[in-house]
Amino acid sequence: MTEAATTAHALPLDIAEVAPERDLMSKFDGLIAEREALVRSGVRNPFTIVMDEVKSPTQAVIRGKDTILLGTYNYMGMTFDPDVIQAGKDALDKFGSGTNGSRMLNGTFHDHIDVEQALRDFYDMTGAIVFSTGYMANLGIISTLAGKGEYVILDADSHASIYDGCKQGNAEIVRFRHNDVTDLDKRLGRLPKEAGKLVVLEGVYSMLGDIAPLKEMVAVAKKHGCMVLVDEAHSMGFFGPNGRGVYEEMGLTDQVDFVVGTFSKSVGTVGGFVVSNHPKFEMVRFACRPYIFTASLPPSVVATAATSIRKLMTAHDKRAQLWKNARAMHAGLKAMGFKLGTETSDSAIIAIILTDQEQAIAIWQSLLEGGLYVNMARPPATPAGTFLLRCSLCAEHTDAQVATILTMFEAAGRAVGVID
């Protein structure tokens, strides 16, 4: 008999018989009740949308209806680029559908080496490491760089993958108020001068589309002897002269130590990466658990990424069209009276702030039924008490589509009572 069994039988019989079994799934009862209430109210589930067919970066069929896409991160519209698609088909024919192993074993193919070289060329950096997703890139690099006795300092509104990267490691975690340079300076000033410190920032914050005051923040970080990591997931491709991100736009190419990005947005496929000029950077591969202990991306995926990244290096017309679309959309919504997440058109993300979940769902459903898909976001993805519709512009949206989108928002906003 095991020790556990002996202990159980040592309990008084009545206690052993009545002790309830803990149901680990009971913590989801609140979510179940919320979903059931939505169904009873006649609202279609806004958190699970099935694409029946995708016709282009800006058009799909959802629930049998032709729909304009305004809720993807396909900023540069690369998913249907003929060269990108052909690269994936060629790799699929040559290498098959998957790698069946990690990069440290049998999972490194020709195209993994090629995409990392494409990243080095794109960012003009000496080191590049590709992960299976952008989430895994943050999880891996943050937990590997900062260890016991060291510090990670992050913006309070940081992405979940940044928070989880902090939890995965053993470093002390310090948060500062969102985009608050003074608070960052104050908190860094309280930390031991001799300790290793990593300041983690984002170029564009994904919920409201606001950009970080990187120039001031990086200056403060360097004053306190910190290394700096910037997540440029929502700016790669169209910020800066070469599309490298907000840090390039602000002239910080020689001051940022690590740049994290993803293939699932402007690149148009899936995967994540970190690039750096640090001479020891490539050693991260041999210590990073999320890199070592997971299967590598299929060759067809990294082949599409490499082709897309190289095309983004000269995608000047696409960048211009994306900014034109974003500015027209922001100006149009603001003129109608919608409350927006930013006063000016700072990025390709435009957030429409609403009063509560009921109002957010009502306008979201009205738009979807009219043939427009946007994202609805709520806590915990957004700050407490914040409900919004998040629009993501694409370089492939035509002027006519932008005009149609604005007309649809005006009709839905008036019908729901969001605008007069």
Instruction: Point out the residues that are catalytic.
Output: 206, 234, 265
Cα gap 260→281, rounded to integer Å: 13
Cα gap 328→391, rounded to integer Å: 13
Cα gap 81→268, rounded to integer Å: 9
Alpha helices in 124-272, H assignment, sequence order: 134-145, 160-168, 181-189, 214-223, 246-249
**The two structure tokens encoding residue 289:** 């658990």
Query: Which helix (DSSP H) or strand (DSSP E) does residue 353 occupy?
Result: strand 349-354
**The two structure tokens encoding residue 141:** 């690099």
Residue 65 φ then ψ, to 5°: -120, 135
Cα gap 276→290, rounded to integer Å: 18
Strands 59-62 and 51-56, sheet pairing: antiparallel
Q: What is the CA radius of gyration of the chain?
A: 24
Distances (CA, A) of 289 to 134, 140, 200, 295, 400: 15, 7, 20, 12, 48
DSSP string, 52-117: EEEEETTEEEETTEEEEE-SS--TT-GGG-HHHHHHHHHHHHHH-S---SBTTTT---HHHHHHHH
Strands 258-262 and 227-231, sheet pairing: parallel
Cα gap 105→101, rounded to integer Å: 6
- Establish whether the linkage from the previous residue to 299 is cis, with ω within 30° of 0: no
Cα gap 413→340, rounded to integer Å: 13
Contact call for residues 265 and 75 (beta carbons, < 8 A): yes
3-class secondary structure, 144: helix
